[in-house]
Structure 1
Amino acid sequence: MGWGVFAIFFLVPDISLFGYALGPKIGSALYKTAHSYLIPLLILGVSLYLKEPSLLAAGLIWTAHIGFDRMLGYGLKYGAGFGVTHLGLIGRHRKTP
C-alpha cells in the first residue's frame, strides 16, 4: 500500500458530508458516525485479533483522519448545521469581532 492509497482512504470519511444534501439532521448524524472514534477502534481491535494488516491500515488511516479533522477544529456536528460543533462554531457560524 502506497501513499496514493493512503491519501484516497484518508478522505473516505468525508463522503459523509453528502448527507447534508438531505438536511442538517441527517448530515450531522452521518458525519458523527463517520468521525467518531468508535468504529475505527473496533476495526483496530478486530485487526489485532485476526492479525489482518489491511484492517489495521484501515483503522489507523481512519483514526488519523479523525485526529486531523479535530486538529483543524472540525468537531462532531450538531443538528443545527454544519458549523455548529462540539468544539465550537466554525465557518460563517463563527462570530467575528
Structure 2
Amino acid sequence: MPRTLLHVEGGALLLAATAAYFRLGHPWWLYLLLLIAPDLSLLGYAAGPRVGAVAYNLVHTMVAPIIVLVAGWWVGSAGAVAVCLVWLAHLGMDRMLGLGLKYPDAGKSTHFDRL
C-alpha cells in the first residue's frame, strides 16, 4: 500500500505542477525542454556510484524547487516559478513511474525498491 500511495502522490504532483505551469501561461516548448533537464544529474555517475547518487538525489528531492518556487513567487519572478513548476512536474513523473532517490550502488536501489 505505501508504494502505491507514493505512485499516486507522484501522479498528483505531476498533474498539479503541470496544470499550474500552463494556467500561468508559460510555453509548451519550455515545459518539454525543462521536463528532462533534471536527468542531466545522471552524468554524475560518470564519476562513480557515490557521486552519481549524491548528484541525482540533490536534484531529485523536492526541497530546492519548493524553496525556489516560493522565493520566486514572493519576489514576482515568473521565470523562477515556471522552472520550479516543471522541476516539480519532473519529480512527480519520476515518483509516479517508481523512480526514486538513489542509494550509492550504481543506481540499482531507490527509496521505492530495488530496480
Q: Fold conserved (TM > 0.5)?
A: yes
Partner in structure 2 of residue 53 of structure 1: 78
User: Structure 1 counterpart of 2:107, which letter?
Assistant: F
Among 10, 14, 36, the residue aligned to 2:35: 10
User: Structure 2 counterpart of 1:48, which letter?
Assistant: W
Where structure 2 has 5 or more consecutive residues not aligned to the other structure, the ranges are 1-25
Higher relative contact order (CA 8 A, sep 6+): 2
Paired residue secondary structure (1:49): helix
Partner in structure 2 of residue 68 of structure 1: 93
Structure 1 stretches of 4+ with a deviation exceeding 2 A read none
Among 107, 112, 115, the residue aligned to 1:82: 107
Partner in structure 2 of residue 28 of structure 1: 53
TM-score scaled by length of structure 2: 0.75
Post-superposition offset of 1:81: 2.1
Partner in structure 1 of residue 3 of structure 2: none
Post-superposition offset of 1:25: 0.2
User: Structure 1 counterpart of 2:52, which letter?
Assistant: G
Aligned length: 90
Larger proportion of helix: 2
